[in-house]
């Protein structure tokens, strides 16, 4: 195994500005039928280079939280900062701050009219990078995510896993300092998902990007993250934050190690605690 220092979350030595900072963030959805409180008083700091997983049941507001971070949804209260700068100025977002983010959604959301290469290079195109440089960068990224040779294919010609890789490559194309991922592997089969998790781990360490990763799978969160944030639903609040003290790089077989199992168990305990508080909630479904 590698240097154990790598496994300790940089948050421990956090004296500088955190890369991402949420302070007392609230989100209330209003509609004609009334209001829904989606998030209440979210305080969270993510250090540069840290990998944080947000876990919780469907409807606990984890996607809402990620969309607020990404600048896709304005919060109704509180402050969101990235690199010390506010992401939101009222209902308007700060484009410069947001431009340091790379976003991956549950669906690959590739444009069917572009080849994989053009999809991957879309962020560069929007920034006015010339065609030649775009192509070179797209090739590099396709190699990185294991899509070498598929640059000229159309999205519909690829499998679901390959499309999601292309979406990750697209998110990486502008060298984002922050990767925000919303259940990116939720739609993939278990075997593909395992492989994608391994690849994401190595991508995160090669690029050194800060990652916020939303999932409803506790084992996936523990496998990937330095820190796991457990959200409880209605309204979404932070239930607990668990440090994952496992060396990197992590192998898939890590799930048999006692430390891994212990972390999974404690997170699951936190979730069950929530369940007993609200009757009628079903058992935890594993992904």
Partner 1 sequence: MEQRGVAKWLPWVSAPLMLVLLVVVWSLVVSVFGISEFVLPPPSAVAASLGELLVDPATWGHVQVTVTEVLSGFAIALALGVIGGVVLGRIAWLEVAMRPALVAFQVVPKVALIPIFVIWFGFGLTSKVIMAAILAFFPILLNVLLGVRSVDRGHRDVMRGLGASRWSTFRNLELPSTLPYVFAGMEVAIVFSVIGAIVGEYLGGNEGLGFLVVSSLNALDAPALFAVIVLLAAVGSVLFFAVNLAKRLVIPWHESVSEKEFA
Instruction: Centre a 10 Å sphere on the Cβ of residue 242 and count the other Cβ atoms it contains.
Output: 20
Compare residues 172 and 218 and give the one whose CB is closer to partner 1.
172
Exposure on the CB side of residue 74, measured as CA atoms within 13 A: 10
**Residue 119 to residue 171: CA distance in whole angstroms:** 10
184: contact with partner 1 by CB under 8 A: no
CA distance linking residue 78 with residue 237, whole number of Å:
14
Residues 124-143 that bind partner 1 (CB under 8 A): 125-126
For residue 166, the minimal CB distance to partner 1 (Å) is: 12
Min dist CB 231 to partner 1, Å, is 21
From residue 86 to residue 105, what is the string marking binding to partner 1 with x (rule CB under 8 A)?
Answer: ---------x--xx-x-x-x
Considering only residues 34, 112, 280, 283, which one is a binding residue for partner 1 as defined by CB under 8 A? 112
Touching partner 1, residues 62-81 (CB under 8 A): 70-72
Q: Which is nearer to partner 1, 18 or 176 (CB)?
A: 176
Residue 97 Cβ vs partner 1, minimum distance, rounded to whole Å: 10
Place of tokens 């955190």: 18
| Residue 154 per-residue DSSP state | -
For residue 116, the minimal CB distance to partner 1 (Å) is 12
3-state secondary structure of 191: helix
Listing DSSP states for 198-242 in one string gives HHHHHHHHHH--EEEEEES-HHHHHHH-SEEEEEETTTBEEEEEE
Minimum distance from residue 94 beta carbon to partner 1 (Å):
10
**Bridge partner residues of 51 (DSSP):** 211
Judged by CB under 8 A, the number of residues near partner 1 is: 22
* Binding status of residue 258 toward partner 1 by CB under 8 A: no
CB 223 to partner 1: min, Å = 26
Q: Where are the alpha helices (DSSP H) in the chain?
A: 62-70, 95-98, 116-120, 122-126, 131-144, 160-172, 190-207, 218-224, 258-277
Nearer to partner 1, 99 or 192 (CB): 99
Are 79 and 24 within 8 A, CB to CB? Answer: yes
Binding mask 161-180 for partner 1 (x = CB under 8 A): ---------x----------
Other C-beta atoms closer than 10 Å to the C-beta of 144 total 18
Q: Pick one of 7, 23, 28, 154: the residue that binds partner 1 (CB under 8 A).
A: 154
- The residues near 242 (Cβ < 8 Å, ≥ 6 apart) are 227, 228, 230, 263, 266, 267, 270
Query: Exactly one of 36, 79, 111, 269 binds partner 1 (CB under 8 A); which one?
Result: 111
Question: Measured from the CB of residue 103, what is the shortest distance to partner 1 in angstroms?
Answer: 4
Which residues would be at the binding site for partner 1 (CB under 8 A)? 70-72, 95, 98-99, 101, 103, 105, 107, 109, 111-114, 122-123, 125-126, 154, 156, 170
């Amino acid at each position: 195994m590698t240097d154990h220092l790598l496994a300790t979350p940089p948050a421990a030595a956090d004296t500088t500005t955190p890369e991402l900072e949420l302070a007392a963030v609230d989100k209330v959805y209003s509609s004609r039928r009334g209001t829904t409180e989606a998030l209440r008083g979210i305080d969270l700091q993510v250090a540069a280079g840290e990998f944080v997983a947000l876990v919780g049941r469907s409807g606990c507001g984890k996607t809402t939280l990620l969309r607020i971070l990404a600048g896709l949804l304005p919060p109704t209260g509180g402050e969101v900062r990235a690199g010390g700068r506010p992401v939101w100025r009222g209902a308007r977002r700060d484009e410069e701050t947001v431009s340091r983010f790379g976003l991956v959604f549950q669906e690959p959301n590739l444009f069917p009219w572009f080849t994989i290469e053009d999809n991957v290079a879309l962020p560069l195109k929007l920034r006015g990078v010339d065609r030649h440089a775009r192509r070179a960068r797209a090739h590099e990224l396709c190699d990185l995510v294991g899509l070498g040779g598929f640059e000229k294919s159309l999205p519909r010609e690829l499998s679901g896993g390959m499309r999601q890789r292309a979406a990750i490559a697209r998110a990486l194309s502008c060298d984002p300092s922050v990767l925000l991922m919303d259940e990116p592997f939720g739609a993939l089969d278990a075997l593909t998902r395992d492989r994608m998790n391994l690849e994401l781990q190595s991508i995160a360490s090669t690029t050194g990007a800060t990652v916020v990763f939303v999932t409803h799978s506790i084992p996936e969160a523990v496998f990937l993250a330095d820190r796991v944030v457990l959200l409880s639903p209605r309204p979404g609040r932070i239930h607990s934050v668990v440090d994952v003290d496992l060396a990197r790089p992590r192998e898939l077989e890590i799930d048999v190690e006692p430390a891994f199992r212990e972390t999974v168990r404690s997170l699951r305990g936190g979730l069950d605690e929530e369940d007993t508080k609200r009757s009628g909630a079903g058992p935890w479904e594993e992904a």
